Amino acid sequence: MAKKKNIWKLEYTVTLFIIVSIVLILLPVSLGGTMQANLISKWNERFNRVEYMASVIKANMDLETEKTFEKAKPEDKDTLVLQLLKPYLRIDTSRQVPRHYRQRYMDRTRVLKGQEYYFSDVYYAENNVLVGIKYLKPESKDEPNYMMMFDLNGILPPNTWGKDIFGVDIYSDMSVKPFGDGMSMDALSSDCSPKGTGVMCSYYYKIGGAFDDKK
């Protein structure tokens, strides 16, 4: 009888060990998936707010402000748009973003100075979100005037495009489009993967795309 009891205890211990091992293996994946889902939800909410902000600015834009933007030198336009967006995004220019803050693409390569999606001007906004603004020097009305990026986690990791960093183009008519708007689903899916930059996730997630970590 004691022998059977010992065997039962051994089987119970082995079963419990297997269950705990499976939970420990799956837990990081589960937490990672939940975190990513929360960030995608936050991005959708942020984009909707930026769209609304742009519509309000357009409705209240007077001729004098428009002329000021038109006459301003390219190097001064980042400052002008910053002053315009400041109250809407609650940007705090008195706080310095740490020098160690770095951004990465989804393929883990670093975003380098001079690249298209590098932002030299990054500021703290509400809820410690980091906001970047860049004037693009458009050559036609069909091209965006500004780019904006949002690091929803602030200085906290992963600081990666397509995970906690997303971006939009802003046009002269104050229309707002997420990065990747107009690209094919295959191209979006390819970029929004560990082999891509993750930049185009900004639009991919807006249209219901799902992250595939196996590509």
Q: Is the pLDDT of residue 192 over 70?
A: yes
For 177, phi then psi, to 5°, come to: -130, 135
Tell me: the pLDDT tens digits for 13-28?
545 444 434 433 443 4
Tokens of 196: 């891509």
Confidence of residue 30 (pLDDT cuts 50, 70, 90): very low
Tell me: the pLDDT tens digits for 105-131?
999 999 999 999 999 999 999 999 999
- DSSP state at residue 11: H
- Measured between alpha carbons, how far is residue 195 from residues 6, 32, 144, 189, 214 in Å? 52, 18, 27, 10, 10
Tokens of 41: 């939800």
Cβ neighbors of 57 (< 8 A, separation 6 or more) are: 84, 85, 88, 174
The residue-averaged pLDDT of 43-51 equals 95
What pTM value is reported for the model?
0.81
Cβ neighbors of 78 (< 8 A, separation 6 or more) are: 121, 133, 134, 135
Q: Is the pLDDT of residue 7 over 60?
A: no
- Measured between alpha carbons, how far is residue 64 from residues 15, 67, 172 in Å? 75, 5, 15
